[in-house]
Amino acid sequence: MSVVGIDLGFLNCYIAVARSGGIETVANEYSDRCTPACICLGSKTRAIGNAAKSQIVTNTKNTIHGFKKLHGRAFDDPYVQTEKIKLPYELQRMPNGSVGVRVRYLDEERPFAIEQIAGMLLAKLKETSENALKKPVADCVISVPSFFTDAERRSVMAAAQVAGLNCLRLMNETTAVALAYGIYKQDLPALEEKPRNVVFVDMGHSAYQVSVCAFNKGKLKVLAAAFDPFLGGKNFDEVLVDYFSEEFRTKYRLNVKENARAVLRLYQECEKLRKLMSANASDLPLNIECFMNDLDVSSKMNRTQFEQLCAPLLARVEPPLRAAMDQAKLQREDIYGIEIVGGATRIPAVKEQISKYFCKDISTTLNADEAVARGCALQCAILSPAFKVREFSITDVVPYSITLRWKSSYEEGTGECEVFSKNHAAPFSKVITFHKKEPFDLEAYYTNPHEVPYPDTRIGRFTIQNVGPQHDGDNSKVKVKVRVNIHGIFSVANASIIEKQSIEGDPNDVPMDTESTCKNQRKEDEQDNMQIDQEEGNHKNQADQQNQAEEETEQAGAETKGKMMMQDKLEKERNDAKNAVEEYVYDFRDKLCGVFEKFITEEDSNRLTLMLEDTESWLYEDGEDQPKQVYMDKLQELKKFGQPIQERYMEHEERPKALNELGKKIQLLMKAVEAFKNKDEKYDHLDPAEIEKVEKCISDAMSWLNTKMNAQNKLGPTQDPVVKVAEILGKSKELDSFCNPIVYKPKPKVEPPSEGQAKANGEHNGPVNGQSGAETKPDPAKDNFQPTKPSGEMEVD
Ligand SMILES: *[C@@H]1O[C@H](CO)[C@@H](O)[C@H](O)[C@H]1NC(C)=O
Ligand SMILES: *[C@@H]1O[C@H](CO)[C@@H](O)[C@H](O)[C@H]1NC(C)=O
Ligand SMILES: *[C@@H]1O[C@H](CO)[C@@H](O)[C@H](O)[C@H]1NC(C)=O
Ligand SMILES: *[C@@H]1O[C@H](CO)[C@@H](O)[C@H](O)[C@H]1NC(C)=O
Ligand SMILES: *[C@@H]1O[C@H](CO)[C@@H](O)[C@H](O)[C@H]1NC(C)=O
């Protein structure tokens, strides 16, 4: 199985994988460790991640970003309605009432469910991890904010399904961070000792989360969690956007908020400015060219001024810290350390607020951007049988208390009972006993609506069927198992009628069961098991949800998905062809004033420069969106002019080496021939007739070399060479294959050749072609060899 952790962020996503060396954050095809949570649906195809982000400003209506908090929400949800006004793309009500987006894709207006959009993003992240691991990926752990409710969690699970991912656990972001912190710590207190309490603060782009965790050796227990789901870097950027919009209104008479593109550009610039201000307290400029109505705008801001503007946001940093500490029932002095992660914790004033509250320095042991993904990968490794990871038990908490309410027509009125209190340990199962005569409904909901950042407190409705009275007409004892599972999703897991009174819980439960009796009407007898049925509705249990998602991908999905993938492939090829033209233009232009400069006449250079310029403009105008073939033709056209220059340059670079090599070979052969003539005993086995041929061959090569070099020296660098490097190398090879077998023929052995050999060799002193001489290595080049007739005089320079 694969071990992959995915931090599914609001702005950016990170992926960590386990390899033999440990946990690594992996980079995407742009060598970026973060992939923007952005999907652009175009008239031809989809772009996801970096490629989509670059289109936020140009293709506003079809570029979907900032959708993380739309998961599991109804279209009528107040949060959705507020966002609807701010988002540059359109939101739409899906048939089941949930929110979707409306885009123009493949020249057709169509809605996409958030699960489909997030599914595309996850599919991209899956692909990136597959490229990194070089094998298929299915199993993974995905992070969600700790404040995500049941509906939001189920929506993320459905998105994972769309992407073909098997999410082993939805992990709370702060819990992932805590795991990434704790698992490598060698010095945690022993199990029986007082735990080490650490506060984790995560302020990302869209939300602020705090958790208090207790660590012992091999054990992490979340004590409490608190959050402000609507405070993040985005809000700080918004303050800047509002400020500058107002300034530009008076200074330039521009109504920025009316222009979606201008707003998006301003957001991008403000995000940059905010990051700069974190490192630099002096006045910093903000300049945007051609901002609106062809106007360039400029302004400035400094940190002090920024902090004043953000005072209301900064005041929201403390309350969750206080809430988490109160719930954990800890004092500041009980806290060992405060660890911060998330991009927005880089804002100095945010750090200050945190450190001021705890009267303590804060530490940044963890990678602020990658800790969540790493924690998820670690969790995945723990769940994987294929990986050996240090045992580490994780107990999380339920963020909101959950109540069960029931009614039955037989009894008058309704009853209710809080089954999970706030900060109750999770995952956890409980068995609840009811005394009933007939089927009944259970409704689960969040107890305190004001605690939950979600308008609908209902979690789900469950019907317990097949309940009847006992033989004597009395109530049956019904045991219902309820559970908050590993994903943080609530469900009614099981129900049964108990034959005898039993006080033991289900031994299968993890980590343990408690039995709470909600309504006590003592009486017991025997009956058969019952099934649970769940009401159709907005909220379904996890199994149903998954079935539905599966069905969807299989039916409508399969067709669209296939079409999309085909389209993606074609579009990729088209884009590659376009990029090749663009790259050629940039690369050539650079080299024209660089290495190619002296290989082209000024006149040609001017002509080519103009041509490259035209092509560049064309790429942004008529050539913006052309079929693949058009780009390929364009590239061919450019190459027709570019190729000769490139070749002259290459030839010039390589020629000296080739010439030198040939010259050296000639010298060596000449030396050998001379030695033979001087009766050097090293060569006394050679045939004088053969040597004569060699001399001719050398003389021929020499005169060839001289002629060519003389001619070449008369040419300037802007003219095509008379001799190509390939020809020189060919000449060299020719010399080798003709002369070497003769000149470097090994001396024959002293013992007489065997009969067979003698016959085969005939009377020749040695085989010219080296066919049977035991010590002659066959020369692979010999078959191609065609001796040239020696001609001209030998000259040595
Ligand atoms: C609503 O429908 C969309 C598809 O149109 C689906 O993705 C989503 O999961 C559904 N939501 C619920 C709560 O059933
Ligand atoms: C801060 O920004 C100003 C203005 O751009 C610049 O002159 C200065 O060098 C910067 N200081 C630091 C420490 O980067
Ligand atoms: C910051 O900006 C304010 C308002 O423009 C100005 O009064 C103050 O002097 C500036 N501070 C610095 C350090 O530049
Ligand atoms: C964290 O996740 C678990 C499931 O792993 C869930 O039960 C719990 O409610 C979550 N905790 C918080 C603080 O949100
Ligand atoms: C449901 O409960 C019964 C009785 O406790 C048990 O035998 C059965 O295994 C349970 N089923 C599941 C799916 O937990």
In angstroms, rounded to a whole number, what is the distance separating the alpha carbons of residues 263 and 241? Answer: 8
Residue 768 domain flag:
no
Is residue 159 pLDDT above 50, yes or no?
Answer: yes
Higher per-residue confidence, 190 vs 535: 190
**Domain-ending residue, one of 643, 661, 693:** 643
The predicted structure's pLDDT at residue 789 = 33
Lowest mean pLDDT among 297-311, 327-341, 383-397: 383-397
Q: How far is the CA of 277 from the centre of ligand 2 (A)?
A: 10
Task: Identify which of 397, 402, 420, 446 to mutate to test ligand 4's pocket (most ligand atoms within 8 A of the CB).
Answer: 397
Q: What is the mean predicted confidence (pLDDT) over 225-230?
A: 94
How does DSSP classify residue 293? T
Lowest-pLDDT choice from 236-250, 326-340, 466-480, 509-523: 509-523
Mean pLDDT value of segment 350-375 = 94
Res 578: pLDDT:
85
Question: Looking at the structure, do residues 561 and 692 belong to the same domain, yes or no?
Answer: no
Query: How far is Cα 272 from Cα 256, in angstroms, rounded to an integer?
Result: 18
Nearest ligand to the CA of 112 is 1
Closest C-alpha to ligand 2, atom 14: 280
**Which of the ligands is closest to the CA of residue 284?**
2
Q: Establish if 147 belongs to a structural domain.
A: no
Stronger pLDDT, 401 or 21, i.e. the higher one = 401
Residue 139 in any domain: the answer is: no
Ligand nearest to the CA of 529: 5
Residues 686 and 695: their CA atoms lie apart, in Å, by 13
Closest ligand 5 atom, residue 479 Cα: 5
Mean local confidence (pLDDT), 546-552? 35
Ligand 4 atom closest to 426 (CA): 7
Cα dihedral across residues 132, 133, 138, 141: positive or negative: negative
Mean pLDDT is lowest, of 354-358, 522-526, 545-549, for 522-526
For residues 116 and 137, what is the distance between their CA atoms, to the nearest angstrom? Answer: 19
Residue whose CA lies nearest to ligand 1 atom number 11:
98
**What average pLDDT does this structure show over 401-412?**
73
In this predicted model, what pLDDT tens digit does every residue of 671-697 receive, in sequence order?
A: 888 888 888 888 888 888 888 889 899
* Alpha-carbon distances of 542 from 29, 45, 155, 485, rounded to whole Å: 34, 32, 10, 10
- Whether residue 449 is found in the same domain as residue 558: no
- 495 strand-pairing partners: 480
Residue 495 sits in a domain whose CATH number is 2.60.34.10
Is 227 among the domain residues? no
Whether ligand 2 lies within 6 angstroms of the CB of 3 is answered as no
Q: What is the DSSP letter of 752?
A: P
β-pairing, 513-517 vs 490-497, is: unpaired
CB 33 within 8 A of CB 14: yes
Atom of ligand 1 lying closest to residue 151 CA: 13
Q: What is the pLDDT of residue 399?
A: 78
**94 close to ligand 1 (CB < 6 Angstrom):** yes
Of the pLDDT bands very low, low, confident and very high (cuts 50, 70, 90), residue 372 is very high
Same structural domain, 483 and 571: no
> 307 CA to middle of ligand 3, Å?
11
Query: What range does the domain containing 441 cover?
Result: 398-543
Do 569 and 532 fall within a single domain?
A: no
Give the strand pairing for 476-484 and 22-25.
Answer: unpaired
Q: What is the mean pLDDT of residues 155-164?
A: 94
Distance (angstroms) between ligand 5 centre and the Cα of 382 equals 27
Q: Mean pLDDT over residues 392-420, rounded? A: 77
For the chain, what's the residue count?
Answer: 797
**Where among 527, 543, 559 does a domain terminate?**
543
Q: How far is the CA of 345 from the centre of ligand 3 (A)?
A: 23
Residue 59 pLDDT grade (very low, low, confident, very high; cuts 50, 70, 90): confident
Whether the model pTM is above 0.75: no
Report residue 403 CA to chain centroid gap.
Answer: 39
Residues 263 and 307 in one domain: yes
Which residue from 92, 94, 120, 150 has its CB within 8 A of the most atoms of ligand 1, so it is best to mutate?
A: 94
399 lines ligand 4 (CB under 6 A): yes
Of all protein residues, the one whose alpha carbon is nearest to atom 3 of ligand 1 is 113
Which position has the higher pLDDT, 413 or 172? 172
Whether residues 461 and 597 fall in one domain? no
Cβ proximity of 546 and 104 under 8 Å: no
Atom of ligand 3 nearest to the CA of 301: 2
CA of 496 to the centre of ligand 5 (A): 7
Environment class of residue 511 by beta-carbon count within 10 Å: exposed (0-12), middle (13-18) or buried (19+)?
exposed
Whether 199 shows a pLDDT value over 60: the answer reads: yes
Whether the CB of 175 sits within 6 Å of ligand 4: yes
Q: Other CB atoms closer than 10 Å to residue 250's CB: what's the count?
A: 8
Give the pLDDT band (50/70/90) at residue 439.
confident
Q: Do residues 426 and 448 lie in contact, with contact meaning Cβ atoms separated by under 8 Å?
A: no
Query: Binning pLDDT at 50, 70 and 90, where does residue 563 land?
Result: low
Distance 161 CA to ligand 1 centre (A): 13
- Cα 515 to chain centroid, rounded: 44
Burial of 444 (0-12, 13-18, 19+ CB in 10 A): buried
Q: Is 178 in the pocket of ligand 4 (CB under 6 A)?
A: no
The answer to whether the CB of 396 is under 6 A from ligand 4 is yes
276 Cα distance to chain centroid: 25
Residue 208: predicted pLDDT: 97
Co-location of 272 and 293 in the same domain: yes
Q: What is the pLDDT of residues 63-104, one digit of tens each?
A: 999 999 999 999 999 999 999 998 999 999 999 999 999 998
444 CB within 6 A, ligand 2? no
Task: Find the 542 Cα to ligand 5 centroid distance in Å.
Answer: 18
21: in domain: no
- Our answer on whether the CB atom of 488 is closer than 6 Å to any ligand 4 atom is yes
CB-based contacts of 55, cutoff 8 Å, min separation 6: 40, 42, 47, 63
From the alpha carbon of 285, which atom of ligand 2 is closest? 5
The encoded tokens of residue 610 equal: 């103009």
User: What pLDDT does residue 355 have?
Assistant: 96
Min mean pLDDT across 202-211, 318-327, 499-508, 573-582 is at: 499-508
For 713-726, what is each residue's pLDDT tens digit? 888 888 889 899 99
- 596 to 410, 605, 642: CA distances (angstroms): 93, 10, 10
pLDDT over 80 (residue 442): yes
- Do 538 and 587 share a domain, yes or no? no
- Report which listed range, 318-322, 495-499, 681-685, 740-744, is most confident: 318-322
Q: What is the mean pLDDT of the chain?
A: 82
Query: What value does the mean pLDDT take over residues 293-318?
Result: 95
Query: What residue owns the CA closest to ligand 3's atom 13?
Result: 282
Q: Is the pLDDT at 546 greater than 60, yes or no?
A: no
Claim to verify: residue 510 and residue 436 sit in the same structural domain: yes
Judgement on whether residues 593 and 514 belong to the same structural domain of the protein: no
**pLDDT at residue 284, rounded to an integer:** 96
pLDDT of residue 530: 32
Degrees, nearest 5: CA angle 452-456-460: 105
We report the CATH number of the domain holding residue 662 as 1.20.1270
Specify whether 663 is located in the same domain as 677: yes
Highest mean pLDDT: which range of 400-414, 522-536, 770-784: 400-414
| pLDDT for position 409 | 54
Residue of 92, 96, 560 with the most ligand 1 atoms within 8 Å of its CB, for mutation = 96
180: pLDDT strictly greater than 90: yes
The percent of residues above 70 in pLDDT, for the chain, comes to 84
Of 252, 287, 314, the position where a domain reaches its end is 314
Count the alpha carbons within 13 Å of 313 in the hemisphere toward its beta carbon: 26
User: What is the biggest distance separating any 2 CA atoms in the chain, rounded to whole angstroms?
Assistant: 130
In a domain, 377, yes or no: no
- Looking from the CA of residue 98, the nearest atom of ligand 1 is 1
Q: Ligand 3 pocket: which residues have CB below 6 Å?
A: 282-283, 302, 304-305
Position 233 pLDDT exceeds 90 = yes
State which ligand 1 atom lies nearest to the alpha carbon of 96.
Answer: 1
pLDDT for residue 513: 34
pLDDT at 528: 27
Residues whose CB is less than 8 angstroms from the CB of residue 346 and which lie 6 or more positions away in sequence, other chains included: 275, 278, 368
Q: Which of 101-110, 153-162, 325-334 has the lowest mean pLDDT?
A: 101-110
Average pLDDT over residues 561-583: 76
pLDDT greater than 60 at residue 765: no
Phi, psi for 204 (deg, rounded to 5):
-95, -150
Cα radius of gyration (the chain): 39
Asked if residue 574 and residue 463 are part of one domain, the reply reads no
Sheet holding 393-397, edge to edge: 335-341, 196-203, 208-216, 219-228, 393-397, 425-426
> Is the pLDDT assigned to residue 743 strictly greater than 70?
yes
Contact between residue 547 and residue 468 where contact means Cβ atoms under 8 Å apart: no
Kindly state if the Cβ of 284 falls inside 6 Å of ligand 2: yes
Label residue 405 exposed, middle or buried (CB < 10 Å: 0-12, 13-18, 19+).
middle
Residue nearest to ligand 5 atom 13, measured at CA? 494
Which tokens go with 577?
A: 């062809």
Lowest mean pLDDT among 503-507, 583-587, 624-628: 503-507
Mean pLDDT, rounded, for 768-786:
35
pLDDT of residue 464: 84
Q: Is residue 772, in this structure, part of any structural domain at all?
A: no
704 located within any domain: yes
> What is the distance between the alpha carbons of residues 213 and 220, in angstroms, rounded to a whole number?
7
The count of domains in the chain is 4
The closest alpha carbon to 492, from 520, 463, 456, belongs to 463
